[in-house]
Amino acid sequence: MSRISESFMGKKAFIGFLTAGDPSLEKTKELIMAMERAGAALIEIGIPFSDPIAEGPVIQDANIRALSAPGGCTTEQVFTMVDELKGKVTVPLVFLTYLNPVFKYGYEAFCRRCQKVGISGLIIPDLPYEERDELENIAQNYDVELISLIAPTSKERIRKIAEKARGYLYLVSSMGVTGVREEITTDLKELITEIRQVTDTPIAIGFGISSPEQAMACSSIADGVIVGSAIVKRIGEYGEQATEPVENYVISMVEACKGQA
């Protein structure tokens, strides 16, 4: 069993996301450690990119802040930052990035570096399912799991994606980009029932979850929840003083998920 799969064992997993380098790489390390203290089972780290097409305004702005910081925030700097967390963080870490930076770095070199610094998984929103085999084969050689995203789409496509899932399935709650939503109207229960026909890979629901009530509702039907924009919004608001607000927020979300374990 992989480290990612183990992070779902015996509990409903809360997965937190933040953008590396916002407001600084040093602060990113501190925030990752704070989220682990607060009970996050797994942490997704966004590598800043100039065209994050799956992201809403909150995370787009975080990417701009990170890239505009003195010295910028390169992929190599993010790798170095993660490497410095060794021995300080025990939960699995997953990169969320886009295909262009991985292609530019080189698939093999990127996955080798992920293994070396301790990255357990990789999410690439703009990697088409039909074109994932080359990267996935390389990632497997370095014990990096390529995480699949499933959006509300045709049953045939859902089954096709789910059958090859590794680590966990990222179930997108709503069509569109990331961001806080007042209400999630997709019939997620039906989607999960469809997924369960072909795989027992853990399912985590993301996009739009921001309140403990939403986390409780989603974790009642899935294996975990993913929260990004609500965390990134707090980081944008508090900057270098974001540690306590983020940690307290994650504690409240973890507790909401626990109620469904």
Q: Which tens digits make up the pLDDT trace of 142-155?
A: 999 999 999 887 67
Q: Is residue 177 part of a domain?
A: no
| Residue 33 covered by a domain | yes
* Per-residue model confidence as pLDDT tens digits over 23-74: 999 999 999 999 999 999 999 999 999 887 778 899 999 999 999 988 889 9
Domain count for the chain: 1
CA dist 65 and 67 (Å) reads: 6
- Which residue(s) pair with 149 in the sheet? 170
CATH number at residue 34: 3.20.20.70
Q: What is the pLDDT of residue 176?
A: 46
Percent of the chain with pLDDT over 90: 80
pLDDT at 53: 78
CA atoms within 13 A on the CB side of 240: 2
Neighbours of 152 (CB within 10 A): 16
Q: What is the mean pLDDT of the chain?
A: 92
What does the buried/exposed string (b/e) look like for 61-84 if buried means 16 or more CB atoms within 10 Å of the residue's CB? bbbebbbeeeeebebebbbebbee
Query: In this predicted model, what pLDDT tens digit does every residue of 1-17 receive, in sequence order?
Result: 799 999 999 999 999 99
pLDDT at position 50 is: 87
Whether residue 199 lies inside any domain: the answer is: no
Q: Tell whether 197 is covered by a domain.
A: no
Give the span between the Cα atoms of 59 and 239, in whole angstroms.
14
Range of the domain at 83: 3-147+208-258
pLDDT in tens, 163-221: 999 999 999 976 544 444 454 546 789 899 999 999 999 999 998 899 999 999 999 99
Reported as a pLDDT band with limits 50, 70 and 90, residue 260 is low
236 contacts 61 by C-beta, under 8 angstroms? yes
pLDDT number for residue 187 = 79
Average pLDDT on 96-107 reads 96
The reply to whether 80 falls in a domain is: yes
Residue 160 is assigned to a structural domain of this protein: no
Instruction: Report yes or no on 203 lying in a domain.
Output: no
Report the chain's terminal Cα–Cα distance, integer Å: 20
Average pLDDT on 125-148 reads: 95
Query: Is position 176 within any domain?
Result: no
Per-residue pLDDT at 250 exceeds 90: yes
